């Protein structure tokens, strides 16, 4: 589960620096009214699994983006592509959770940057959403820097599907300019993405909103 692995990152961060304040803060949000009725059991369930969720947020479907903003959410994780798209359009950076992430190894948070979207990129990504995307990336980059090259609980991977080596190159440079040093890079040059993704097993897929780093 993504939470477990985020917690692992937090633990490692604190190991490096017990005074560390740049930690992951996990908020669970749901718009499903049935789930909301089960709020007690959800809360208990997270406790039982040892997940440190700091806040629970139950909101109506039409308001969920407001809730995100009220809670100062910097990254919204969901398996629902539409939700992610909506949130991004409104300026909240979003990432898709791999539906199979439950089976992904939980010792290392694997973050995948795709230069073209799993969510379709839209022409009008606002300046605001780009800014929040960039600032979130910069923070991720900072977190990564706290660990060395080996044995890091966070791993960044770049996958570029369309475009050749030069577009991959410029994406690497843009990410570097934001302070994000990528560990692994795959330039597919048009080859299908499926086989690589199943090998990489990312927990988080960051695409739209991060897709236009050159601004």
Partner 1 sequence: MNLNSSQTLTISGQDGVKNGSQHSWEDAKTILKPSTPSKKPPKPENSITIAVSSRVLFNMEKEQQIFEQQGMEEYIKYQVAHETEPFSPGPAFSFVKALEAVNTQLRDLYPESEELFDVVLITNNHAYVGLRLINTINHHQLFIERFCMTGGNSPIGYLKAYNTNLYLSSDPIKVHEALEEGIAAATMFTPEKMTEVSETQLRVAFDGDAVLFSDESEQIYKAHGLDKFFEHEKAHENKPLDHGPLKGFLEVLGKLQKKFYAKGQRMDCPIRTYLVTARSAASSGARALKTLRSWGLEIDEALFLAGAPKGPILEKIRPHIFFDDQMFHVEGAAEMGTVACHVPYGIAQRVPEGKGIKDKEISSIK
Is residue 169 a contact residue for partner 1 (CB under 8 A)? yes
| Residue carrying the six token digits 């996958």 | 159
Pinpoint the alpha helices (H) of 71-209. Answer: 81-89, 127-145, 165-177, 194-200
Q: What is the DSSP letter of 204?
A: E
Give min distance, CB of 190 to partner 1, in A: 6
C-alpha 24/C-alpha 26 separation (Å) is: 6
Is residue 166 a contact residue for partner 1 (CB under 8 A)? yes
Is residue 104 a contact residue for partner 1 (CB under 8 A)? no
Contact status, residue 122 vs residue 208, Cβ threshold 8 Å: yes
195, two tokens = 């086989």
Which of residues 168, 178, 204, 205 is near partner 1 by CB under 8 A?
Answer: 168
Nearer to partner 1, 17 or 195 (CB): 195
Is residue 149 a contact residue for partner 1 (CB under 8 A)? yes
37, two tokens = 């009725």
Tell me the number of residues near partner 1 by CB under 8 A.
28
Nearer to partner 1, 135 or 164 (CB): 164
Q: How do beta strands 154-160 and 109-114 pair?
A: parallel
Q: Which stretch binds partner 1 (CB under 8 A): 26-34, 68-76, 126-134, 163-171?
A: 163-171
CA nearest 209: which of 99, 103, 97, 93?
93
Give min distance, CB of 48 to partner 1, in A: 34
**Contact residues for partner 1 (CB under 8 A)?**
148-150, 155, 157-158, 164-166, 168-169, 172-173, 181-192, 195-196, 199
């Amino acid at each position: 589960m993504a939470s477990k692995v985020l917690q692992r990152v937090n633990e490692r961060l604190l190991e490096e620096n017990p005074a560390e304040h740049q930690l992951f803060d996990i908020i669970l949000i749901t718009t499903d009214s049935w789930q909301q009725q089960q709020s007690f059991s959800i809360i208990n369930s997270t406790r039982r699994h040892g997940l440190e969720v700091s806040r629970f947020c139950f909101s109506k479907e039409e308001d969920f983006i407001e809730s995100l903003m009220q809670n100062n959410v910097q990254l919204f994780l969901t398996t629902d592509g539409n939700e992610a798209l909506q949130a991004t359009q409104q300026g909240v950076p979003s990432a898709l959770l791999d539906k199979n992430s439950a089976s992904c190894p939980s010792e290392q948070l694997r973050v995948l940057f795709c230069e073209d979207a799993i969510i379709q990129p839209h022409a009008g990504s606002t300046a605001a959403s780009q800014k929040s995307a960039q600032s979130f990336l910069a923070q991720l980059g900072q977190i990564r820097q706290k660990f060395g090259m080996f044995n890091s609980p966070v791993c960044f991977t770049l996958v570029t599907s369309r475009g050749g080596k030069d577009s991959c190159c410029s994406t690497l440079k843009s990410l570097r300019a934001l302070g994000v040093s990528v560990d692994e890079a795959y330039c597919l040059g048009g080859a299908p993405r499926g086989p690589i993704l199943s090998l990489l097993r990312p927990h988080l897929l960051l695409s739209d909103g991060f897709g236009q780093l050159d601004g």
